A and B are shown apart, each in its own frame.
Chain A
Amino acid sequence: DQQVKQNSPSLSVQEGRISILNCDYTNSMFDYFLWYKKYPAEGPTFLISISSIKDKNEDGRFTVFLNKSAKHLSLHIVPSQPGDSAVYFCAVFIQGGSEKLVFGKGTKLTVNP
């Protein structure tokens, strides 16, 4: 069963507007969450992360919000730029013996000029 769910396979927004990418997770014990950005035929690159002791983390145009009671996190990009067009993966860090990142299926963001 999927531990990390990104239910929107794609999202299209206009340049300058806000992009909101969503992610749900299943286990309330998860305590560290990350967003990665991936261009075609390249490896993912780290974008931003958040610990469960926070509900918001901001880095420039990128902000991640965490709602622990809903087991939901979201990535906001403001303002969106055409260069932001990529696939965005939500990931959770799983600890305890075998530490690893588990990824969602990704959301393809297209920012139209």
Chain B
Amino acid sequence: DGGITQSPKYLFRKEGQNVTLSCEQNLNHDAMYWYRQDPGQGLRLIYYSQIVNDFQKGDIAEGYSVSREKKESFPLTVTSAQKNPTAFYLCASSDRPYGYTFGSGTRLTVV
């Protein structure tokens, strides 16, 4: 079955550490996105990529980095510069303007 896989589902990080969240899709979609969900904040766009080897900052990119070396993969690194990293992270992909497919998310907690 085609879809988006985010791993791990739960992730714990010590303060000061970088951590990478995985997002893989087998839908053959060109575009991929990372959103962050906080209580009462909705979904806020972190980074997005319309094509391999290209990506753009979203609304809250500070403290995050991404890469897009393969069409199928769009990993997100939460760096130590991100002041409030505890959140629910969602990856999505699309092959047409309106058809977003979301993964099941990764819950990151800083301990």
Contact = CB atoms under 8 A, between A and B. Distances in A.
Interface residues of B, number: 28
Interface in A25-81: 32, 34, 41-46, 49
B98 A93 contact: yes
B97 A98 contact: no
- Looking at A43, A44, A101, the one whose CB has the most chain B CB atoms below 10 A away is A43
Interface string B87-111: 0101010000111101111010000
Given A43-B102, A44-B90, A104 B42 contact: yes
B58 interface: yes
B50 to A, nearest CB: 7
Interface size band for A: 20 to 34
Contacts of B33: 100-101
The 7 closest A-B pairs by CB, nearest first: A43-B102, A105-B42, A103-B43, A103-B42, A43-B104, A106-B42, A44-B102
